[in-house]
Amino acid sequence: MRFLLVLALLATAFTFHTKESYAEEAREYTDRLLQLVISNDVAGLNSFDFGIPEGQRQTIVGVLSSIPESVGSPLGYDLVEDWVLSENFHRLYYTLNFEAAPAGLAIAVYRTEDEWKVVDYRQYETLLDFFDALR
């Protein structure tokens, strides 16, 4: 009996997630996506597992791979805010940093039973719009 109790506790320990661990998973998921955007890896974006229907995926890939050249080469990105709406639902705000100016981006991700997926995104037209969204 004691052996079964120990096994049950071990199983719980390996499957238990905290709010912080889900937040870290959400950031790691969006980091993988943004690395592809910053490196202009269109092939990588096309194969990224967004966890959404094909038509929606192609729309996101089109937007993320067509950042205007007027802002210059990509330099990186910064997480500005992670709004934890629930353990499984996060809205992450990023600046995409380019030579001429940063661009604001929000990505909403949701964790199903076994994976994260993009459920919404927004690339802001102006930085002022981006700042207003953070208030």
Q: What is the CATH number of the domain that holds 85?
A: 3.10.450.50
The tens digit of pLDDT for each residue in 48-88 reads: 888 878 888 888 888 777 766 667 888 999 999 999 999 99
In a domain, 9, yes or no: no
| Residue where the block lists tokens 């994260």 | 116
User: Which strands make up the sheet holding 102-111, listed edge to edge?
Assistant: 74-86, 89-98, 102-111, 116-123
**What count of other Cβ atoms lies within 10 Å of the Cβ of residue 135?**
4
Q: What range does the domain containing 57 cover? A: 17-133
Please give the span between the terminal C-alpha atoms of the chain, in angstroms, as a whole number.
Answer: 54
**Average pLDDT in the 43-49 region?**
86
Q: Quote the pLDDT of residue 20.
A: 76
CA distance 5 to 61: 48
84, burial (CB in 10 Å: exposed 0-12, middle 13-18, buried 19+): middle
In a domain, 124, yes or no: yes
Say what the pTM is.
0.78
In a domain, 4, yes or no: no
pLDDT band at residue 2, thresholds of 50, 70 and 90?
A: low
Query: Which residues fall within 8 angstroms of residue 62, CB to CB, at 6 or more apart?
Result: none
In a domain, 99, yes or no: yes
In a domain, 7, yes or no: no
**Average pLDDT in the 30-36 region?**
92
Query: Where does the chain have alpha helices with state H?
Result: 2-15, 19-38, 42-47, 54-64, 127-133
Q: Quote the pLDDT of residue 111.
A: 94
pLDDT band at residue 47, thresholds of 50, 70 and 90?
A: confident
In a domain, 39, yes or no: yes
Q: Quote the pLDDT of residue 68.
A: 63
Alpha carbons within 13 A on the beta-carbon side of 26: 30
SS3 for 124? coil
In a domain, 75, yes or no: yes
Mean of the per-residue pLDDT values of the chain: 83
In a domain, 3, yes or no: no
Q: How many separate domains does the chain show?
A: 1
**Average pLDDT in the 17-28 region?**
82
